[in-house]
A and B are shown apart, each in its own frame.
Chain A
């Protein structure tokens, strides 16, 4: 079975600085998608960024980028120029090939941003 592990329960970053959140996963599949979701205190999960496993190029969305290491099964999220609004829970998720659509989530990393 696929699993997703986020080893950092909490992280803190100074405003305007850069922070990296870690995620590792376990799978025997070669074709899959990976996601980072943000969950602010409002509870609503928001998609931050998506990576397709067959693409070697790391995905980027404005201040958010990933470091995807397929062989190491690692998928970290880098947030540049951190803003107060980035404070939230961040979840890494896996979507398997052939899956009927459900995402497999890690336990999350709580990010605090210090002014």
Chain B
């Protein structure tokens, strides 16, 4: 079956512009996660969804970041007024649920470059 897909694969934008990153999880997976991977760093957790609900948004780096999920499926991560420090790979993962036994399956990521 299809895995987690993300689009675009790469995005180059100018400082100050808004960008939208899309994640399409594995069908039937109720949990969806966004992580950010900056150069030379590990993965930083941003936000997760259980269904369409995001119970904890404290991982988002600033109020320029927002995320939504509709229909319990596709999620979009929006970054407004992008800054150069937003340049990173944004990874999405999905799992059946949020239990520790539910493996998180990752997409290939979106590489965002802010000029």
State how many angstroms separate the Cβ of A26 from the closest Cβ of chain B. Answer: 14
In the assembled complex, B40 has its CB within 8 A of some CB on chain A: yes
Q: Which of A87-101 contact B (CB under 8 A)?
A: 91, 93, 95, 97, 99-101
What distance in Å separates the Cβ of B64 from its nearest Cβ neighbour in chain A?
Answer: 21
**Known contacts A100-B48, A101-B33, A102-B33, A45 near B42 by CB under 8 Å:** no
Residue of chain B at shortest CB distance from A6: B42
Inter-chain CA distance A37–B103, complex, in Å, is 11
Number of interface residues of A (CB under 8 A): 27
Chain A min CB distance to B81 (Å): 26
- By the criterion CB–CB under 8 Å, are A43 and B108 in contact? yes
Pick from A37, A104, A107: contact of B41, CB below 8 A. Answer: A107
Specify the chain B residue showing the minimal Cβ separation from A52.
B100
Q: B112 on the interface (CB 8 Å rule)? A: no
Whole-angstrom distance between the Cβ of A45 and the nearest chain B Cβ: 4
Is A62 in contact with chain B by the CB < 8 A criterion? Answer: no
Q: Which residues of B contact A32 (CB under 8 A)?
A: 100
- Asked if B91 is at the interface (CB within 8 A of a chain A CB), the reply is yes
| B31 neighbours in A (Cβ, 8 Å) | 101
Chain B, residue nearest A96 (CB) = B100
Kindly state whether residue B95 has any CB partner on chain A within 8 Å.
yes
Fill in one digit per residue for B38-56: 1 if any A CB lies within 8 Å of its CB, else 0.
Answer: 0011111100101000011
A49 to B11, CA, bound (A): 32
Chain B residue numbers with a CB within 8 Å of A100 are 48, 50, 55-56, 98
Q: Shortest distance in angstroms between A25's beta carbon and chain B's nearest beta carbon?
A: 12
